[in-house]
Structure 1
Amino acid sequence: MEEALFNDLFLNMVQLMPLFRKKLGPAYDRVDRVDKILKKNQIGTVMMVGHNGQMTSTMLGKCLDMKKGSLTTLIDSLEEKGFVYRERDKKDRRKTWIRLTEQGQNYRQEKYRLLKQEYAEILSNLSDKEVQELHESIVKVVNIVDKL
């Protein structure tokens, strides 16, 4: 890769996360504050497990950048509240899957509904053309980053 291209790419990638947090983060904060049922890490866990359908604690730990001990405590708390359950893999008894309960699924759906409303409000400041360009760009970024 050409050095100038790499440097520009690097600077834009470093700029993306803080920009995302600044512009879209408040939407997540508002949705998180709607109820005080779960804490931020618990909400993130419910959303992540629901998105994937099921996850092992190792997979979840990598996604949330959490150590095993903290993650076990987090999963235990969600299990006690009735949002997730653990199930041993039928083919590999060493593996345990974390899945959402019906309560967890309902909670996740409501959070997504509220977040979708927040995003609609944020995106209403853009023209239809800009929304289309944003959509196409994000699809490309997700597909490319997924290959890394």
Structure 2
Amino acid sequence: MSEKIVPAEIYAADASPFEMPLFQALRRLQQDGEVHAKRLSRFGGLTPMQLMILQVLAGETRMTASALSGRVSLTAATLSGMLDRLEELGLLQRQRDDQDRRRQWLLLSDAGHALMQQSPTLLPPGFRRRFDALSEWERHALTAALLRAAELCGDAEG
């Protein structure tokens, strides 16, 4: 009977003292995000990602799907399904480029603009209030730390 060799880094005894508090913080953020996502879904039945897509498009005159994909951190395939759904709901339009018929522009429809006028924020209101009360340097530091944490999580194998 051969014994399976398990890499040492998976043993809790070898874990850094930061592992448990970091995991707990990430888990709490995940849970709070899920609760807020459920609240957001009551608003027109849209997911937070769909609202984010609409908010990005609301800030632009028009945008290609590939540019939007980079802005919202979604693969082209995942974004495509969401765009189809938003188009079915009448919240966005696709428009062929006049010079290059292969290029397709995405833009908010009138209904999409109207929805954005009354849409809730992507962040939970309590978080927004407390975050806005921080000093500017704390807001920058917290944002930078979260962006860096997300970057570290991005490469799970490496």
Q: Is the 8 A contact 2:92 2:108 kept in 1?
A: yes
2:49 matches 1:41: yes
Tell me how far apart the structure 2 counterparts of residues 45 and 106 of structure 1 sit (CA, whole Å).
Answer: 15
Tell me how far apart the structure 2 counterparts of residues 53 and 28 of structure 1 sit (CA, whole Å).
Answer: 29
Tell me how far apart the structure 1 counterparts of residues 60 and 124 of structure 2 sit (CA, whole Å).
Answer: 19
For residue 94 of structure 1, the aligned residue among 88, 102, 116 is 102
Residue 50 of structure 1 deviates from its aligned partner by: 1.2
SS of aligned partner of 1:38: coil
Unmatched tracts of structure 1, length 5 or more: 1-14, 142-148
| Larger RCO: 1 or 2 (CA < 8 Å, sep 6+) | 1
Bigger helix share: 1
Residue 57 of structure 1 deviates from its aligned partner by: 0.8
Tell me how far apart the structure 2 counterparts of residues 28 and 73 of structure 1 sit (CA, whole Å).
Answer: 22
Tell me how far apart the structure 2 counterparts of residues 106 and 118 of structure 1 sit (CA, whole Å).
Answer: 25
Per-residue CA distance 1:11-61 (angstroms, 9 max, x = gap): xxxx9xx6xx68x96896486245242122211211111122321011111
SS of aligned partner of 1:52: coil
Residue 92 of structure 1 deviates from its aligned partner by: 2.0
Structure 1 residue aligned with 2:79: 71
Q: Could you tell me the TM-score, scaled by structure 2's length?
A: 0.55
SS of aligned partner of 1:59: helix
Tell me how far apart the structure 1 counterparts of residues 45 and 99 of structure 2 sit (CA, whole Å).
Answer: 35
Unmatched tracts of structure 2, length 5 or more: 1-21, 145-158
Q: State the AA in 1 paired with 2:94.
A: R
SS of aligned partner of 2:106: strand
Structure 2 residue aligned with 1:81: 89
SS of aligned partner of 1:87: strand
Tell me how far apart the structure 2 counterparts of residues 30 and 123 of structure 1 sit (CA, whole Å).
Answer: 21
Q: State the AA in 1 paired with 2:66.
A: T
Distance 1:26 1:115, change over 3 A: same
Q: Is the 8 A contact 1:61 1:71 kept in 2?
A: yes
Q: Is the 8 A contact 2:91 2:110 kept in 1?
A: yes
Q: State the AA in 1 paired with 2:82.
A: L
Residue 90 of structure 1 deviates from its aligned partner by: 1.6
Q: State the AA in 2 paired with 1:106.
A: A
